[in-house]
């Protein structure tokens, strides 16, 4: 059933479904920017852990949301591949990626999109202007890695080298990307050859959980990089991972995970509402939220 706010405006109702997501910053980012745009907007979390249901029930959650008048649902781990097989229509980019992180309820149909890659591509444009994308090495080929690889190639990376502790996963992503970018080189290297690949890279993308609060560490030796090489990390809790800190200390251009997080939220909001969010304003809000988290934790989010 449609809802209205105190001023009689129709409320745009949106949700996020996934596991362990109660602390997600997506709801406040969406709601704050929607308010700035003059929209009546409500964002609700559907945490599978709180609901006590398995990820395989995501289809029913989507149906109930549609029946309740929701306009759209963002999708996160572990449901992106499951939803890919549920939606009735797919955006071309989501079809190529094999994962959906946004479902829009349009004309009674579930339409799937992927804004993760858009968020990362826009981060490359905003944060690495003038950088070389001649030869990029990417570490990690899971869900985030698929989005970053697609974004890198869409942005014009000439030679993309993919590696993962799971060699088959890296090979699968390589084979998935090649047909869509026939004029560019996409190859896989074994983890044992990673050091040699990094020495010749113009940029390195880190797309694994390493560096998160409960997964400390650095995925590669930053000292192997050429002086002009750049570094990108998809982890944003904390924003200053050990990798970001070390690369910055050594004078490399750095792209932290915040730009991808903001970019995907901005793209989702635009698709859902048809409005034009202010990406810079969303980023300022996001970084203020992260800063408040770190202050509340006594600066321990490192």
* Judgement on whether residues 69 and 135 belong to the same structural domain of the protein: no
* Judgement on whether residues 133 and 209 belong to the same structural domain of the protein: yes
What is the reported pLDDT for 89?
A: 96
Domain that holds residue 251: 117-255
Cα 192 to Cα 32, 80, 217: the distances in Å are: 46, 30, 18
* Judgement on whether residues 195 and 271 belong to the same structural domain of the protein: no
What is the reported pLDDT for 214?
A: 78
Of 63, 50, 68, the closest CA to residue 11 belongs to 68
pLDDT tens column, 133-184? 999 999 999 889 999 999 999 999 999 999 999 999 999 999 999 999 999 9
Query: Is 243:206 a contact under the CB 8 Å cutoff?
Result: yes
Give the length of the chain.
302
Cα 106 to Cα 24, 49, 69, 89: the distances in Å are: 25, 28, 11, 10
What is the domain count for the chain?
A: 2
Distance CA 99, CA 182 (A): 21
Distance CA 40, CA 79 (A): 28
User: Which ranges of the chain would DSSP assign to H, the alpha helix?
Assistant: 26-36, 48-51, 58-67, 80-84, 92-97, 116-127, 143-154, 167-177, 194-199, 242-249, 258-273, 279-296
* Judgement on whether residues 167 and 41 belong to the same structural domain of the protein: no
Residue 7 lies in a domain: no
Distance CA 221, CA 247 (A): 10
Catalytic residue among 13, 80, 96, 279: 80
* Judgement on whether residues 139 and 231 belong to the same structural domain of the protein: yes
116 is annotated as an active-site residue = no
* Judgement on whether residues 127 and 159 belong to the same structural domain of the protein: yes
Name the stretches of the chain with pLDDT < 50: 1, 5-6, 8, 300-302
What is the reported pLDDT for 299?
A: 58
Residue 273 lies in a domain: yes
pLDDT tens column, 47-69? 999 999 999 999 999 999 999 99
What is the reported pLDDT for 156?
A: 97
Residue 90 lies in a domain: yes
- pTM, to two decimals: 0.90
**Before 238, cis peptide (omega within 30)?**
yes
* Judgement on whether residues 59 and 126 belong to the same structural domain of the protein: no
């Amino acid at each position: 059933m449609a809802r209205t706010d105190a001023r009689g405006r129709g409320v745009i109702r949106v949700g996020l479904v996934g596991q362990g997501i109660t602390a997600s910053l997506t709801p406040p980012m969406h709601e704050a920017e929607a308010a700035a745009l003059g929209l009546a907007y409500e964002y609700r979390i559907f945490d599978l852990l709180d609901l006590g249901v398995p990820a395989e029930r995501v289809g029913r959650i989507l149906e109930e949301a549609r029946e309740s008048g929701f306009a759209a649902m963002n999708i996160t781990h572990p449901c992106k591949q499951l939803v890919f097989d549920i939606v009735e229509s797919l955006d071309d980019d989501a079809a190529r990626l094999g994962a959906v992180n946004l479902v829009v309820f349009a004309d009674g149909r579930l339409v799937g999109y992927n804004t993760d890659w858009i968020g990362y591509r826009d981060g490359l444009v905003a944060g690495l202007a003038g950088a070389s994308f001649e030869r990029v090495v990417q570490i990690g080929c899971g869900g985030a890695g698929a989005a970053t690889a697609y974004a890198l190639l869409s942005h014009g990376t000439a030679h993309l080298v993919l590696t993962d502790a799971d060699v088959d996963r890296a090979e699968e992503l390589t084979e998935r990307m090649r047909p869509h970018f026939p004029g560019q080189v996409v190859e896989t290297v074994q983890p044992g050859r990673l050091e040699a690949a990094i020495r010749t890279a113009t940029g390195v993308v880190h797309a694994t959980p390493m560096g998160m609060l409960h997964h400390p560490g650095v995925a590669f030796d930053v000292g192997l990089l050429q002086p002009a090489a750049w570094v990108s990390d998809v982890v944003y809790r904390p924003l200053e991972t050990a990798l970001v800190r070390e690369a910055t200390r050594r004078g490399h251009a750095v792209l932290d995970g915040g730009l991808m997080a903001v970019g995907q939220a901005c793209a989702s909001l635009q698709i859902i509402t048809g409005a034009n969010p202010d990406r810079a304003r969303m980023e300022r809000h996001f970084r203020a939220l992260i800063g408040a988290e770190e202050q509340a934790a006594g600066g321990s989010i490192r």
